[in-house]
Amino acid sequence: MGSHLAFALSALFALQQTTCALPNNQHRLEGRAYSRPCTAATFPKPNILGAQILSVNAMTVMNSTGLGVDIPGLSIVNRTNYCQVNVTYTHPGVGDSLTVQTLLPLEGWNGRFVGIGGGGFTAGALSIFSDQFMNAGYACAFTDGGLPSQDGGDPKNWALKSANNVDYQRLIDFAWKSLDELPKIGKQMVQDYYGKPPSKSYWRGCSTGGRQGLISAQRFPENYDGILAEAPAAYWTQLLPTLFSPTAVMNDEGYYPEACELDAITQFGIDACDGLDGVKDGIVSAPDLCKFDPRSVVGKSFTCGATNKTVTAKGAAVVSRIWHGVTKKDGSFLWYPYNVGADLTQTAHTTQYLNGTRGAVPNGLGEEWLQWFVLKDPNVNLATAKYPEFEDLFYRSVQEYDSIIGTSDADLSKFKAAGGKMITWHGTQDPLIPPGSSIHYWSSVNATVPQTDDFYRLFLGPGNGHCGPKLTNPLATGYYPATVFQQLVDWVEKGIAPTQLLGTDLLQRTQPLCQWPLVARYTGKGNSSSAASFTCAKSY
């Protein structure tokens, strides 16, 4: 039940990494202190259409220190001094309450503003994850989306107004409405404090934060000059049931594999498909070429703790179905699969009961969505749900909620016309959000808006997990594009469109992340651990 918080923390982990690699700010006003006091009197109540401002509070925060993940290890950013402004408001007549928090560096503001996204049912990051941006001179802001952030936005505290009645207003606030009000309020705080508006505005978020970036481009195309939407939780109404689908698969098969069996089959798959891109690096960089059949390793041995075991036919069947993707009753396509190499224990979690039998433990975020929003009954036990029931829940999720939170609109023509630029990157071994969904969205935009590459580009991160390196295997973590935010800024401000992102793993190996649909092909010469030995090509 705690997966909504874990989902949020995965996105926040990526925030820590990305914000360490921020632009060199040649326009930053080094050492300049701002004379306006950090008090509520400096910040008049902003005028937001349809909103009533309940309070504006300001406080000075000194010597804030944040941790950042700077591959390959941890780094501590410099101490940051800033003015924190909280604006709390409501939409009259609907009974909600939302807060936007804006963080304004006391000195060295670089003239830019950045909105920061959240994860799971958490709409925005905690301020500690903003220290890296402020240390680089950014004013930044995030919203709570009207949901309690201290518990990861747990639906039990807000989803239902009464029995069988969803609080649609709070869902709308979280899904999209707060995302228009965030930059309007944040930029006004910037204007009030520094005496001028930001020169450029950006969005940065992964997972839910990535979805928030996409919906900002779709619904509010003039709010940001640049959007970094990483591993976006787009197609939310298909994604959340997909998180639950391995439970239905295991119940169908009547078999609940231990984590070590799932890991063993996954590793057999990695070993079989690792070299398809021409390089043996412990990473499946060409998942679309991987034809590994789990049934081929039935009977092969693996270690489970101190015990030797063998791959079972039932275990192979479970993994095969998960890798095949979410399907209809007749086996035809319903939604995208997790790739070979993804950590299946994130969604195919099981437990052993006291009587020695095993059972499924549904992914918390997927289960909660189906219970609280689709069935509107948190007491329904879905741990034993099978595929026919699951397919019905999948359709109900899409039918009822796609217009609210689906985030599937491919017409980004207004975002393009406004001059916006957007980058999405997605790890090929993401265990929560299938990378096929990002490919599907980019392809839909490409089929809808001419010259998509002029404003929107997609990159796949070989071997990466959700929002960052796949830390379950320190020898094959994936190639993480630590400088991607810098490249977005360069695209917006210098017109340098990225054709590849530089990926680095925890062993300091480098490889390019090529602009989709190109792939990183090893030239056959030079060090295969160096990006210089690769070229972006149409095929391997």
Catalytic residue among 3, 10, 201, 207: 207
Whether 466 is a known active-site residue: answer yes
Whether 97 is a known active-site residue: answer no
Catalytic residue among 173, 277, 430, 505: 430
Tokens of 75: 């780094």
Catalytic residue among 144, 149, 466, 533: 466
CATH top class, domain 3-235+408-475:
alpha beta
Whether 440 is a known active-site residue: answer no
Cβ atoms of 317 and 253 within 8 Å: the answer is yes
Q: Cα separation of 47 and 40, whole Å?
A: 15
Using H for helix, E for strand and C for coil, what is the string for 393-459?
Answer: HHHHHHHHHHHHHCCCCCCCHHHHHCCCEEEEEEECCCCCCCHHHHHHHHHHHHHHCCCHHHCEEEE
Per-residue pLDDT of the chain (540 residues; tens, 9 = 90+): 444 544 544 544 444 444 434 444 434 444 455 668 999 999 999 999 999 999 999 999 998 776 554 433 335 556 689 999 999 999 999 999 999 999 999 999 999 999 999 999 999 865 556 878 888 899 999 999 999 766 778 999 999 999 999 999 999 999 999 999 999 999 999 999 999 999 999 999 999 999 999 999 999 999 999 999 999 999 999 999 999 999 999 999 999 999 999 999 999 999 999 999 999 999 999 999 999 999 999 999 999 999 999 999 999 999 999 999 999 988 899 999 999 999 999 999 999 999 999 999 999 999 999 999 999 999 999 999 999 899 999 999 999 999 999 999 999 999 999 999 999 999 999 999 999 999 999 999 999 999 999 999 999 999 999 998 877 666 678 999 999 999 999 999 999 999 999 999 888 899 999 999 999 999 999 999 999 999 999 999
Tokens of 469: 């390196």
The pLDDT of residue 77: 59
C-alpha dist (Å) from residue 137 to 132, 221, 482 = 9, 25, 18
Q: Cα separation of 97 and 87, whole Å?
A: 10
C-alpha dist (Å) from residue 238 to 301, 323, 395 = 36, 16, 8
Domain definitions of the chain by residue range: 3-235+408-475, 238-403
